[in-house]
Structure 1
């Protein structure tokens, strides 16, 4: 459990760890599966601790590890001191830490759910991008520079020409500062505005954490609303890693590395027609093997959302919703043609009623804030996709919805509400086990994700259940009492 946790937070495979500490990958695999106990008194335990001491360096990684270790002090800057802490933690026998570690990892997943739907609002300086274009770029900073030059060159592509993106290498370089993320988003949005699409193929490697990590790093791309995510369904643990980005007929970006190697990477930008054609043929073959990972909807590109919502709501599976505010669903009737109206069902509440007639439905909401309700600032989920969205409930609409919610709770065994003290920062998560998950944030111009990939569904379902376990009062009468008290307070 501890070894898997350490590998998860820095995003490495068993092969990479085995190479770093000079062990056979099969031995690491047996340690991770529990088929072999972690040996004591052997030199390689020192090597493992030393390796992770050098790799755990970001503020977020340190926070996760300190929580798992129950370490409350300041993380040491000296690698030797950090190595001793990790060694002692690995060496100390404890009862199973599975629940502790899972809760921490699920916290990491919730951070992805928040970060992935935040829209960048910076105004980046793009005046120097596209000048001083070279063929070779070195290291992490060089790859960032190469990617920006690649995107600038891609703008020369004709209308309707797609962009293909694939990498099995580390994606840490995508986690640049806000200026870098905003520059990516701006360039990609400009690229996509001329009837162009971005197709991103994600490899699924050793575990789901790797996939979540990659989706988080690609968030600025998905927020453009013009990206289509795919995944390669065969689990791979390759020693030879590759990055291949290409705009057919225009430009390609290529790099490669060996898993576990500390050698400085080289990224190549190619515009010679034959080189671009070779890269194009590789990517088209890869995409022919890939499967869709998620659908991404934005206010300017939400074709098919109405049909998706109808199908999703009608599937007879348990449903979990996590959000800050008690608010109705939007209607699923198109405003005109296939356009998504986003009008909330404030009169008949048909969506919720149809769900609870056939399946268990549980809402987890934050403790209601009277000031927010009275000011008319409660957003209605998914209405950010509608024209002039998102929509907000007036106090009167909120009270009507509250009354109806209380009646549903009183009269339906399938319907449950859990009230938690924490806030979810205005994000909305709706999951049906084995069906799919909707992830959105009711901000203007934000993106909404619908994911069906089974591994992602599993870890999001575990996260949702972990949230519910933190609820102190889970009986229906406690929720009803709190909602009735809220209604009385709003009536004053």
Structure 2
């Protein structure tokens, strides 16, 4: 029995609706709907599946029905996922996680293993199973051990597999541990892509605006004093320098764009929730002021860390004032750098990889320093490439041209959609939805024409 069949069977036996289950489990009705249709299935050890079993057990108890305990429900749902019954499925899941979390290049791995890149891609998606899974896993383990030799990379690998970092100190032992985990291990961390998509599913921009009171946010104009230049050391002083940078930028009269570039780790900063909240409010104040922000992302971060950063930036990208960039190629893995620069203030920092808390940071409002750091920011942007194209209402024609041109390009595409696209609705159904929600006739006609196209 497949997962969606088992879930729908329990819903029918207990006599509940999807809305009842969503309320009892804490999951959204959209997620429940996708689980029921088979469009999405949870991982066997993930939190949503645990919450689902708790919700079913809770509703059965309310109706006085026996035989629906939470452990039994969880076990049955996990069994329906059939992860343990298919070696290829487990290998595909772990292989995909390994590549994503460690930011490995499939093309490099294909050359090292003497495989075609498309073959590796089919193994990642579960479309193919290697003829000799053990030999394949050992080859991948050897490649991962050679490529991920830095302490930070070994630490990420140990965290992924749920082993002590000391067990991976030798290349041979590391390769064997990776091979064993690929074939039979369970990831000790949640798939960051699934986590990202779930947060995207539940994200509501209007709720976010109300939560941080962005619609009520006032950019203050009262002057305040900050030292012209200061040098600081350590994590706490860096946090304060960062907040002072945001405050000085928001309160200054300058309308120059803001530049942010950092390849330093963000996990240590994210652990301080109070700092994270002030950081996001400071950025919101800068955007409320109407300043453009050039953000250079580091794509060489551990995958989970990169997804954490994107989750934080989603609401801000929706303002259309941020241009995301990235530097192509693999950057230096020994030194960490950061540069924040605006028309009023700059912060520069450096550290050795893995020693973020022992870094040195310079906060400056000096005119000569600002001119130097502005030139440096411009030089970095010349070497950067756009991470994504963001289209606002004023760029509607440009966006339409992009869609038309992209549709004609040959090649395979892989899309991860959080819901069905509007063009899967019938024209009659879509028209009723637009009318019910008060969409103006002119906008409605354009939407219908776009879906028909």
> TM-score under structure 1 normalisation?
0.46
Relative to its length, the structure with more strand (as a share) is: 1
Higher helix share: 2
Greater RCO structure (CA 8 Å; 6+ sep) = 1
Q: Could you state the TM-score of these two structures normalised by the residue count of structure 2?
A: 0.50
